[in-house]
Chains A and B, each alone.
Chain A
Amino acid sequence: MSVKYESQLREPLVYGNKTYHDVTEDIVRPIEAKPSKLWYIGFYISVCLLMFGVYSVYREVTYGIGQWNLNKTIGWGWDITNFVWWVGIGHAGTLISAILLLFRQGWRTGVNRAAEAMTIFAVMCAGQFPIFHMGRVWMAFFVLPYPNSRGPLWVNFNSPLLWDVFAISTYFTVSLLFWYSGLIPDFATVRDRAKTKLRKHLYGVAAFGWTGSTKHWQRHESLSLVLAGLSTPLVLSVHTIVSFDFATSVIPGWHTTIFPPYFVAGAIFSGFAMVQSLMVVVRKVFGLTDYITMGHIEAMNKVIVLTGSIVGIAYLTELFMGWYSQNKYEGYTFWYSRANLFSPYGWSYWGMMACNVLSPQIFWFRKMRRNLFVTFFMSVLVNIGMWFERFVIIVTSIYRDYLPSSWSVYYSPSIWEIGFYLGTFGLFFTCFFLFAKYFPTIAIAEIKYVLKTTGESYKDNMATIEQKQADEFAHEYAH
């Protein structure tokens, strides 16, 4: 006997007396309606930012990397900070789709679609930085290892920077496939409801001729499982390899063995914060509060306090080892360049500590986890903190070299460096606005899958089961 049951103590994941049809209606409505004024305003602002970014990049490509304020000592500044920051943000989507799937967390269905979209856009933004940091961007294809006519000029397989090329492109590909394969049945739903020919045609093409037959579903399920299996190690590998960019070196503050898992925890931390920032807004604007409930928000806040605390242990561990190792270079980096508030960049270290370790502790309290204002504020704060983390790691480790003669002056970015960063925001939000307008922001098919177990009205019917004793229930279940 198959029993749809879950404890009444769990909050419903879908509120309201929804039927399958209601689910479709609610989620597809924003796609079929005309975009609101708010959408247009947001979209145009994003496009403007994107244009500013394009111009900033144009300056950099035309006049060279000197447009940025990097110098001989601080060779990695805002660009690599931004790269790591965006890659980190691009972790939540795949974690939600793959790892939370393995952990059978039902609430993932409410947010996985948007989180995966965000992942893809964030990785796209991240990719811009190392590409344009190359300076001669038209040579970017040199990173691809293939037999060529450049003689012995070949990629350096020993370099973690090259591993990054592989890791990130693999991650991007698999995330994209995973996201898209989940979209296929939903595109078909939109296609079947389409009123105009063009719409029917476009969504029809996107849906790959999905008919909803059992065979299609069966293959779809197998594919999802395979992709989830492939994605799971990728969630860990990408930021692990990003951390190798630093940790394989002999730079104090970079070379530390805890970096890989600590980077991954930080990435998930920032990824969830970004999902929160977006979802708190999207659920209101699109009227999806029945699907992205306070329970969802609370669950994500729990992930934030968990990963924030893991990151906190890692910070304290490396700070401690900076002293315990009795290595004076490590000690100088950690205790002078970072932890000393009055050193040139001390402010950034304490900003990082305050935003990433102290402030998320507020989420130990249920009231705070379920407060939308606090959630939104905290999610922004965490992302600021995570930006500082990368800035601290990169700049405070290198601005004072082993050789005091190469110590750098204070580094602040040029307008074109800032412009490039703002431009990636433009890219990210332009993509996200288009996504929100043309794609189902919630996985329709997956919500339907959990509806009868966790939908509010269905849960009410389980009250009779809840009254039963365990042995009586087990007996019925077995027969």
Chain B
Amino acid sequence: MASIRQSFEIPGKMKTWSFALMGIGIVALIAGFVTKGMSKDHHEQDIFLGTLMYNTIFWTLVCNASMFFLCVTTMAWGGWQQSFRRIPEAISTMVPIFGAITLVVLLYVAFSGSHIYHWTDTVAVANDPILKGKSGFLNIKFFTIWTVLAIVLWSFLGWRMRKLSAQADEAAMDGETGAKFILSNTVRAATFLVWFGLTVGSTVPWLWMMSIDAHWYSTMYSWYNFASTFVAGMSLVALWVIYLKNKGYLEYTNQEHLHDVGKFMFAFSVFWTYLWFSQYMLIWYSNQPEETIYFKHRVQGPYKGIFFLNLIINFICPLLILMKRSAKRNYTLVTFMAVLIIFGHWIDYYQQIMGSISKEHVTMGWLDFGILSLFVGMMIFGVSKALASKPLIPKYHPFLKESIVHHT
């Protein structure tokens, strides 16, 4: 009987790559800070901060989507994901790290008097009845408390899920312990999901992102952002599954599981498009200036190219490429699509945040890719560390055998 490889050894090459990416990122960060961050021009400063903002927020939410996936499948009593559940677990360990960076960046933006959050400008608020009216929600105190709470609780509740999962490495469970184990899993997952709904599903995207256009509002905004980060999060899971498979790990995971992850990537790309369309079409159709202003420069102005690129990458490509069964079972194609989808939603975050900060011109350039590389490097480094610290397969998990016999 062939034994399974439980401990992941981080290949030297991977370490080198992650360091190289982080190195490039740090150089870009410093260069960006010197050329833009310290610039006398407010606009340049905002671009620097905005670039940090959309990257930190994007990567925090994408990694948090892994924990969301685990909690949702736990609540649904899913069996199929057990053979690779350690991957989303490992990805979710990045939430406290990326979350802390997000916290620093957002609080700096809010407290530094930068122009990004217009509602932090007390003089402007005093002279603007709309902002004044909103100040019960858009104020620095609430912003700080809620941001800290959101990040701390995502990290804490996610940590509790992972901690419980470690029990499945220890000893075989009989029926009773197994049932208890599943019950505590569902309770912890439910707690996470409730908090997730109150933050990612509603308040957090309003506070962090929608408030950049301080007058503008859309009830769909948060759900749209959830869909965006969830589909990117599933793609990230797919990438790590394929990587580990190629390295000969995850013996119980096969094309059948990948196929299902691929279905999530396909289905939620379509779901994202559905929300995109619903938000856009309704605003376009009713044509009210206070709402269309958000899309004006995105559709007709400098962001036109990015606006349509967003749709092509995140809708047309997954629709056409991932629809076929064989595509979702093909490692190379899924890898390609996963990279594309993550990139596509990163672009979506770019246009959502930078499109509001720098309305006159598109600033995409070396700084964006540099900071992206910093985050990708950190993600690779952190996730590989987390993977190496735990057995790769929860071998006593009561549903593991279902995952072994899983087929689509």
Contact = CB atoms under 8 A, between A and B. Distances in A.
Task: Check if A and B associate.
Answer: yes
B398 A236 contact: no
A302 B290 CA distance: 40
Contacts of B179: 9
Contact of A475 (B1, B182, B223): B1
Interface stretch (A23-31, A61-69, A240-248, A433-441): A240-248
Contacts of A309: 197
A5 B402 contact: yes
B219 A258 contact: yes
Nearest to A314: B219
A84 B197 CA distance: 26
B2 A313 contact: no
A313 B202 contact: yes
Interface in A196-235: 233
A321 B219 contact: yes
Nearest to A255: B286
B1 A9 contact: no
Contacts of A260: 274-275, 278, 282
B96 interface: no
A324 B134 contact: yes
A248 B285 contact: yes
Interface string A293-313: 000000000100000011001
B282 A248 contact: yes
B30 interface: no
Contact of B175 (A9, A318, A364, A475): A9
B219 A326 contact: no
B404 A325 contact: no
B333 interface: no
A43 to B, nearest CB: 38
Nearest to B194: A309
A317 B393 CA distance: 40
A248 B182 contact: no
Contacts of A302: 75
Contact of A317 (B75, B219, B275): B219
B178 A318 contact: no
A156 interface: no
Contacts of B1: 471-472, 475
Given A321-B217, A471-B3, A259 B401 contact: no
Given A7-B399, A324-B137, 5 more contacts: A9-B179, A255-B288, A260-B282, A317-B219, A317-B222
A475 B2 CA distance: 8
A20 interface: no
Contact of A6 (B79, B130, B218, B223): B79
Contacts of A470: 252, 393, 395-396, 400-401, 404
Contact of A5 (B198, B288, B405): B405
25 contacts: A7-B402, A8-B175, A10-B77, A102-B263, A244-B282, A248-B285, A250-B286, A255-B288, A256-B282, A257-B220, A257-B282, A258-B219, A259-B219, A302-B75, A309-B197, A310-B197, A313-B201, A324-B206, A327-B290, A364-B190, A466-B175, A470-B252, A470-B395, A471-B3, A471-B4
Contacts of B202: 313, 316-317, 320
A30 B81 CA distance: 41
A139 interface: no
B398 A9 contact: yes
B274 A236 contact: yes
B144 interface: no
B227 to A, nearest CB: 9
A317 B221 CA distance: 10
Interface in B169-220: 172, 175, 178-179, 182, 190, 197-198, 201-202, 206, 217-220
B301 interface: no
Main secondary structure of the interface of A (DSSP, over half): helix
Nearest to B181: A9
List the 8 closest A-B pairs by CB distance, nearest first. A258-B219, A257-B220, A260-B278, A326-B133, A248-B285, A326-B130, A257-B279, A325-B217
B402 A6 contact: yes
A255 B282 contact: yes
B44 interface: no
A249 interface: yes
B405 A3 contact: yes
A456 to B, nearest CB: 15
A5 B401 contact: yes
Interface of B: 1-4, 75-77, 79-80, 129-130, 133-134, 137, 172, 175, 178-179, 182, 190, 197-198, 201-202, 206, 217-223, 251-252, 263, 267, 270, 274-275, 278-279, 281-283, 285-286, 288, 290, 393, 395-396, 398-402, 404-405
Contacts of B400: 470
A309 B194 CA distance: 9
B179 to A, nearest CB: 6
Given A313-B202, A321-B219, A7 B133 contact: no
B219 A250 contact: no
Contacts of B130: 326
Most buried by B among A3, A313, A468: A313
Given A9-B175, A324-B134, A477-B405, A261 B275 contact: yes
A473 interface: yes
A257 B278 contact: yes
Among A247, A249, A258, A320: residue with most chain B CB under 10 A: A258
Contact of B404 (A103, A255, A326, A477): A477
Nearest to B278: A260
B134 A326 contact: yes
A465 interface: yes
A364 B365 CA distance: 49
A469 B288 contact: no
A474 interface: yes
Contacts of A103: 76
A465 B278 CA distance: 49
B181 to A, nearest CB: 9
Interface string A322-363: 011111000000000000000000000000000000000000
B196 to A, nearest CB: 11
B401 A261 contact: no
A472 B80 CA distance: 18
Contacts of B137: 320, 324
Nearest to A248: B285
A472 B396 CA distance: 12
Given A313-B202, A326-B129, A327-B290, A474 B402 contact: no
Interface string A158-183: 00000000000000000000000000
Given A321-B217, A474-B251, A7 B290 contact: no
Interface string A450-479: 000000000000000110111111110100
Interface in A1-46: 3, 5-10
Contacts of A364: 190
Contacts of B279: 257
Nearest to B279: A257
A474 B252 contact: yes
Contacts of B217: 321, 324-325
Contacts of B399: 7, 9
A318 B1 CA distance: 59
A236 B178 CA distance: 37
Interface in A67-106: 102-104
Contacts of B134: 324, 326
B138 to A, nearest CB: 8
A466 B130 CA distance: 63
A233 B274 CA distance: 10
B180 to A, nearest CB: 10
B288 A261 contact: no
A432 B372 CA distance: 58
B360 to A, nearest CB: 26
Contacts of B393: 470
Contacts of B270: 233
